[in-house]
Every structure is written in C-alpha cells, then in structure tokens.
Amino acid sequence: MVVRILRLLRPADIGVFMAKAPATDKPKARRKAAPKSSVDATPEALLQFYRDMLLIRRFEEKAGQMYGMGLIGGFCHLYIGQEAVVVGARAATEESDAVITTYRDHGHMLACGMDPRGVMAELTGRIGGYSRGKGGSMHMFARDKNFYGGHGIVGASTSLGTGIALANRYLDNNEVTLTYFGDGAANQGQVYESFNMAALWKLPVLYIIENNQYAMGTSTARSTAQTKLHKRGDAFGIPGSECDGMDVLAVRDAVAKAVKHMRAGKGPYILEAMTYRYRGHSMSDPAKYRTRDEVTKVRKERDPIDHIRDQILESGAASEDALKAIDKEVKAIVTDAADFAQQSPEPDLSELYTDIVITADAAE
C-alpha cells in the first residue's frame, strides 16, 4: 500500500510524506549518527540519497549474481561500497554538467539518471543496452544525460574529461566536468599532462579521485610515494582537498565547494574521496592484497547506506516503514531491469559493423 502511494507521488512529496511519519524503530548502533540539528539536509534530500545509493547497491548485487549465472560475460567491475561518492557529487552539480569515468561505471550511470534497464541490458550484451549490446560493462554513453563513458584504459578518463572541459570553456556555458578516476590511475603519466593543460587554461574540470585504497592487485600504500593524492596538483597550482567518501553529505559539501571554485572561473580542482570497494577488483580476484577482516570491519563501521539510514532514523526524517517502502521500490526496479536484460534480444548479425569506427587500414 505504502509503495503504491509512493509511486503516485513526486520525490518532493515523498519527502514531506515520510518526514511526517513517526520514527518508531531505533537503528542498530554503528557509527553514531549526527543529531537532527547537525544533519544538514532536508528529510526529502536524505531519502533521495538513501534511495539513490540503495539503487546502485542492489543493482550491483544483481549484476554480480547474473555474472555468476553466466548471463553477463567479459569484464565487470562492481561499485559496491563507493555509492556515496557519485550520489553526493550528483547532488552538488547540475544535470547539464558532464560526467566521465572509468570502467567501474554502473553507479555513475545510475546517478546520472540513466535507465537501469538499458544499463543491465548492456551488461547482458542485448540490443536494448545503451551501446546496443556491443560495449558491455565498461563502454556505455548517454549524450542526453551528459554521461561520456565508461572507459577501460586506466587514466584515459582524465584526459578525455579535460578535453570536455576545454570544449565547455570554448562554448562559454559555465558547465563543469566531473572527471572520475581511481587511486591507481593517479599514477599514470597522462593524468599530469592533463593537469598541466587544465591549470594553464583554467579549465572547469573537477578531478574526483575515488581512493578505494587498492588498484588491481596492490594497495596505495605499497605502490604510491605520495599517498595524499589530492596534493598531486601542487606542482601545477591546482588546489585539492580530501573528503569522507563513505558519507554522502560530506561528498556533497566538498563537491559544492569545488564547483563554486570552478564556476567562478578559477580553474580545475582535485577532490580525493576516501572510499572502499567491498568486492574484488573485477569478477575474478584472489584478493590476496587484503584480509577478509578488513573488509568486514569497513562494512560494519563505515557503510555509507547504513550511515544515512541511521541519520534518517535518528533525526526523525522518516520511519523504518518508510525506508522499507523505498527498499521494495528499489528491489522492483532492479528485478524489472534484470528481466528486461534477459528478454531483450541479442544484436542481429547485421549490427556487426554498425556504430563502430573502421579505420582506413582495417577496411582495406
């Protein structure tokens, strides 16, 4: 019943509706949620953050499951644990701002408002996918959502994102480009070539380093001389800071500050979001570089969804029942996406040479 009512309401109404519900159940003690006065968000916004992060979490869990069943092939990198980064960043930017990221990209797409059906169908290689089943997990795009991919080459999103910012500078449209990359990518050479140009031309580009503490098979601590990655812009005069990437409000505030800097014409900014991925790097990962206990501890003490859940309940923004209704709604969206992804046909053979670039050499 509650779900049905929620579906009839706009998100803004849901917030008001839920805010009025009594906070009956006390959440389990984890890290202490801030008291009402210091939770700097409306009940409506808190619920939206909860919903958006949960959608990514459940979507990724389903993708992992479908991969295990052989329904998804090729590379697949899950975003579980890092949800607060994209949801917080989205909240501090406009839909017209551009987003570009790496291969760990499903969360970024969902946060941009891309259709879960189209993302899941791309994972299963079906015609209903964003790249008509020919791009897979790492290569999806949505021009109407200003989402520029999905890139498998480590470090590439940095240079491409800098190029998008250069285009926006030419267009003089005051739009910023959120350019995501990982801690491992931060050691790639092209990142610094990009920093140089971005600083020189004062490009409106926000480099968001998702520091999940591990690259493919090693930790930042073992592979990186300067582990404070937000300081990597010092040599170029690019300001930087770090934020708690497991706290959606902290990310939102840090991104808002950076966006203000960029929209004022002051050039690029580096934000290092301290986060953590719960799953392996990709779908097959012996994970010898960390202990199980470490993962369990982060999940228990720093989980971004548990955290906002606690904030919602302890501040009285909504009741446990209201959250359950969102859980149900999200589950239904993901189930629908998974069904669609299995029912959508595989691309026809005639699709083999469409939507791809054939160079003169290859064509001969």
Binding site for ligand TPP (CB under 6 A): 104, 152-155, 182-185, 212, 214-216, 281
Nearer to ligand TPP, 81 or 128 (CB): 81
Nearer to ligand TPP, 154 or 208 (CB): 154
**CB burial readout 105-129, b (16+ within 10 A) else e:** bbbbbbbbebbbbbbbbbbbbbebb
Q: How far is the CB of 136 from ligand TPP (least distance, A)?
A: 14
* Residue 14 contact partner, candidates Mg ion, ligand TPP, none, CB within 5 to 8 A by sort of partner: none
Closest CA to 195 of 166, 159, 224: 159
Q: How far is the CB of 216 from Mg ion (least distance, A)?
A: 8
Nearer to ligand TPP, 113 or 152 (CB): 152
User: What is the side-by-side order of every strand in the sheet holding 205-211?
Assistant: 98-100, 177-182, 205-211, 269-274, 240-244
Q: How far is the CB of 176 from ligand TPP (least distance, A)?
A: 22
* Residue 153 contact partner, candidates ligand TPP, Mg ion, none, CB within 5 to 8 A by sort of partner: ligand TPP
Are residues 35 and 314 in contact, defined by beta-carbon separation less than 8 angstroms?
Answer: yes
Give me the helix-helix angle, 304-315 and 43-68, nearest 10°: 150
* Residue 118 contact partner, candidates Mg ion, ligand TPP, none, CB within 5 to 8 A by sort of partner: none
Nearer to Mg ion, 187 or 344 (CB): 187
Other Cβ atoms within 10 Å of 170 Cβ, number = 8
| Cα gap 176→186, rounded to integer Å | 20
* Residue 17 contact partner, candidates ligand TPP, Mg ion, none, CB within 5 to 8 A by sort of partner: none
Tell me the two tokens of residue 169: 């500078």
Binding site for Mg ion (CB under 5 A): 182-183, 212
* Residue 197 contact partner, candidates ligand TPP, Mg ion, none, CB within 5 to 8 A by sort of partner: none
* Residue 281 contact partner, candidates Mg ion, ligand TPP, none, CB within 5 to 8 A by sort of partner: ligand TPP
**Residues facing 241 on adjacent strands:** 271
* Residue 88 contact partner, candidates ligand TPP, Mg ion, none, CB within 5 to 8 A by sort of partner: none
Other Cβ atoms within 10 Å of 342 Cβ, number = 14
Q: How far is the CB of 90 from ligand TPP (least distance, A)?
A: 18
Q: How far is the CB of 74 from Mg ion (least distance, A)?
A: 20
**CB burial readout 290-324, b (16+ within 10 A) else e:** eeeeebeebeeebbbbbbbbbbbbbbebbbbebbe
Q: How far is the CB of 303 from Mg ion (least distance, A)?
A: 18
Nearer to Mg ion, 103 or 195 (CB): 103
Q: How far is the CB of 254 from ligand TPP (least distance, A)?
A: 19
**β-strand pairing of 205-211 with 177-182:** parallel
Nearer to ligand TPP, 146 or 212 (CB): 212
Nearer to Mg ion, 107 or 182 (CB): 182
Closest CA to 64 of 108, 116, 120, 118: 120
